[in-house]
């Protein structure tokens, strides 16, 4: 194969032999029964993705093996219509692409998934035949034997994504295929993307119909890959941010640009789907990440941001749209019978508050009515180190209770008059309405919500000081909301050392499995390292 004078034929022959190397080694298993019946070819029966020598192995004729490969490859290449003048293939590191800045229209990348497959190690047999070796040190995988843990993997992926960001044209897209069952690896990919400058617009499932060996045989492997759609913000946004700085106008400029990139509607099996990226809370998270990545103070609190969204952008079914997008969504909405619903899984204090907010928006209720519904949500999915909050504490710190004094709040009045016939048409001061409304918890209006948020943030920061003063080795139980508030406050003061010192007091998995904490921590490390 190596001696053929024609370069293209020589490359083809080498490629053909490569496909047979594993099947010609002792890794080739003997399988007398295939597809449920005796017999079948013994060519290339090795396990994929792993080195495994079975107790019985088959030795096939090289000519039989290679002739079959030749026939299949000839057929494949004959049917493949490729314009060589418009196609380029290269092998190298994704951290140094031989391409100019802002030159690529679209990127599709299928990176290593944590420690799913050890690619460089698995190349050893084929590379030995070629008498070459891969430098596995910069390989973007998790490998405890090579002392490459999750932080090293995230750093390597971030370098690759940063290079993708450099060569991609502003306003263009990148698709990232991802498959890993560990939340920590998922968060590492997300944070690496954001650190590189990308903005995530959508995450969807990719059903390839036929799973890989690991997907089919493993109980922990995810059965479908995830597809992350991310874009590089256009140059105009960056230029305006450089001119304005970290102000509220910059935040709304980002939101305007971000909403423009998102899908307006998604219909599956005749049902309209809830677009998670259009959820006001998710939009706030994306805005915060963008400011953090620019080493800027976030100019708006959560409640100020939510109120600003309501004033500036129309909302439909819990999703935020640009004015020019609403008509298109309304047309799609008119074609289906049921409004899309967002699925909420209660796993920590933040998601518990979100669940209560959704519940009380639909149905202002008393503590006795809320308690059984709330308790059923606190299942096995609760995060390991997260302290479970008391329901009453969540209600008192985030919502309001009508005590029977004065007019019935409009939120409760609207619910009661819609659901109880005998209470329809009554004034807000009617004794019958007041009696039914008394002791019901409800979602406050924006002004009161901001006051509640300030009060709650003050309490969270007070508790954060106890974490900061903790002298033990590791905190066994803590509140993620306290850590998030403390990290955010320290970031605004450029007190990066506080973020780093408190992060060392919590278990690594707790930090790595929370995207927000990981983003603050990673940025704090970057800032302190740049100073050194």
- Over residues 65-71, the mean pLDDT reads 84
Task: Please state at what angle helix 62-79 crosses helix 7-18, rounded to 10 degrees.
Answer: 120
Strands 225-231 and 168-178 turn out to be antiparallel
Per-residue pLDDT at 259: 94
Asked whether residue 92 carries a pLDDT value surpassing 90, the answer given is: no
Per-residue exposure over 413-425, b if at least 16 CB sit within 10 Å of its own CB, e if not = bebbbeeeeebee
Is the CB of residue 198 less than 8 Å from the CB of residue 174? yes
Look at 36-45, 438-447, 468-477 and tell me which has the smallest mean pLDDT.
36-45
Per-residue pLDDT at 218: 40
Where in the chain are all domains bearing CATH 3.40.50.150?
Answer: 94-232
Of 165 and 138, the structure prediction assigns the larger pLDDT to 165
Q: Which of 243, 240, 160 is nearest to 198 (CA)?
A: 160
Asked whether residue 215 carries a pLDDT value surpassing 60, the answer given is: no
Q: Which of 470, 458, 531, 457 is nearest to 497 (CA)?
A: 531
Q: Which of 204, 253, 249 is nearest to 233 (CA)?
A: 253
Cβ-Cβ contacts under 8 Å for 502 (sequence gap 6 or more): 464, 467, 468, 483, 486, 487
Cβ-Cβ contacts under 8 Å for 447 (sequence gap 6 or more): none
Read off the pLDDT of residues 419-443 as tens digits, 9 standing for 90 and up. 888 888 888 888 888 999 999 999 9
Read off the pLDDT of residues 341-385 as tens digits, 9 standing for 90 and up. 777 778 888 889 989 998 998 899 999 999 988 888 877 678 888
Thinking of the domain 94-232, which architecture would CATH place it in? 3-Layer(aba) Sandwich (3.40)
Beta bridge partners of 199: 231
Of 179 and 332, the structure prediction assigns the larger pLDDT to 332
Phi, psi of 365 (to 5 degrees): -140, 165
Reported pTM: 0.72
Q: What element of type H or E holds 512?
A: helix 508-512
Average pLDDT over the chain reads 84
Per-residue pLDDT at 341: 76
Q: Which of 310, 321, 320 is nearest to 446 (CA)?
A: 310
The radius of gyration of the chain's CA atoms, rounded to the nearest angstrom, is 28
Residue with tokens 């992350």: 228
DSSP 57: B
Task: Please state, in angstroms and rounded to a whole number, the distance separating the CA atoms of residues 124 and 141.
Answer: 16
Cβ-Cβ contacts under 8 Å for 285 (sequence gap 6 or more): 516
Which one of 85-89, 160-164, 238-242, 424-428 scores highest in mean pLDDT?
Answer: 160-164
Q: How many contiguous H segments (helices) and E segments (strands) does the chain have?
A: 22, 12
């Amino acid at each position: 194969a190596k001696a053929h004078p024609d370069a293209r034929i020589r490359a083809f022959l080498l490629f053909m032999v490569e496909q047979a190397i594993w099947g010609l080694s002792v890794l080739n298993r003997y399988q007398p029964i295939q597809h449920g019946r005796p017999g079948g070819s013994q060519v290339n029966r090795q396990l994929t993705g792993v080195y495994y020598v079975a107790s019985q192995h088959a030795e096939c004729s090289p000519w039989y093996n290679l002739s079959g490969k030749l026939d299949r490859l000839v057929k494949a290449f004959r049917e493949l219509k490729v314009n060589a003048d418009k196609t380029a293939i290269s092998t190298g590191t994704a951290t140094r692409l031989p391409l100019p800045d802002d030159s690529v229209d679209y990127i599709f990348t299928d990176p290593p998934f944590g420690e799913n497959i050890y690619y460089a190690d698995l190349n050893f047999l084929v590379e030995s035949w070629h008498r070459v070796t891969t430098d596995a040190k910069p390989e973007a995988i998790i490998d405890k034997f090579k002392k490459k843990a999750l932080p090293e993997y995230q750093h390597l992926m971030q370098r690759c994504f940063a290079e993708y960001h450099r060569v991609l044209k502003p306003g263009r897209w990148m698709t990232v295929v991802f498959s890993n069952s560990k939340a920590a690896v998922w968060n590492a990919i997300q944070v690496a993307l954001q650190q590189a400058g990308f903005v995530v617009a959508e995450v969807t499932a990719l059903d390839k119909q036929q799973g890989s060996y690991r997907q089919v045989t493993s109980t922990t492997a995810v059965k479908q890959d995830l597809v992350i759609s991310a874009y590089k913000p256009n140059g105009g946004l960056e230029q305006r941010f450089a001119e304005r700085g970290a102000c509220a106008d910059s935040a709304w400029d980002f939101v305007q640009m971000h909403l423009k990139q998102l899908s307006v509607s998604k219909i599956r099996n005749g049902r309209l789907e809830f677009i998670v990226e259009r959820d006001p809370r998710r939009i706030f998270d994306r805005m915060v990440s963008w400011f953090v990545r620019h080493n800027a103070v976030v100019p708006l609190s959560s409640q100020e941001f939510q109120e600003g969204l309501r004033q500036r952008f129309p909302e439909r079914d819990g999703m935020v749209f640009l004015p020019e997008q609403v008509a298109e969504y309304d047309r799609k909405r008119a074609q289906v019978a049921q409004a899309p619903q967002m699925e909420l899984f209660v796993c920590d204090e933040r998601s518990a508050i979100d669940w209560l907010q959704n519940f009380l928006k639909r149905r202002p209720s008393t503590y006795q009515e809320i308690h059984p519904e709330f308790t059923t949500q606190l299942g096995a999915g609760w995060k390991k180190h997260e302290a479970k909050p008391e329901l009453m504490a969540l209600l008192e710190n985030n919502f309001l209770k009508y005590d029977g004094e004065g007019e019935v709040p409009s939120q409760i009045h609207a619910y009661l008059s819609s659901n109880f016939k005998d209470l329809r048409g009554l004034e807000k001061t009617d004794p019958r309405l007041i009696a039914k409304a008394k002791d019901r918890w409800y979602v406050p209006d924006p002004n009161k919500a901001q006051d509640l948020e300030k009060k709650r943030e003050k309490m969270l920061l007070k508790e954060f000081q106890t974490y900061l003063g903790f002298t033990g080795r590791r905190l066994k139980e803590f509140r993620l909301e306290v850590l998030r508030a403390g990290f955010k406050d320290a970031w605004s003061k450029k007190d990066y050392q506080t973020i780093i010192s408190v992060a060392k007091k919590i278990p690594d998995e707790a930090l790595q499995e929370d995207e927000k904490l990981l983003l603050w921590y990673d940025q704090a490390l970057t800032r302190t390292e740049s100073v050194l």
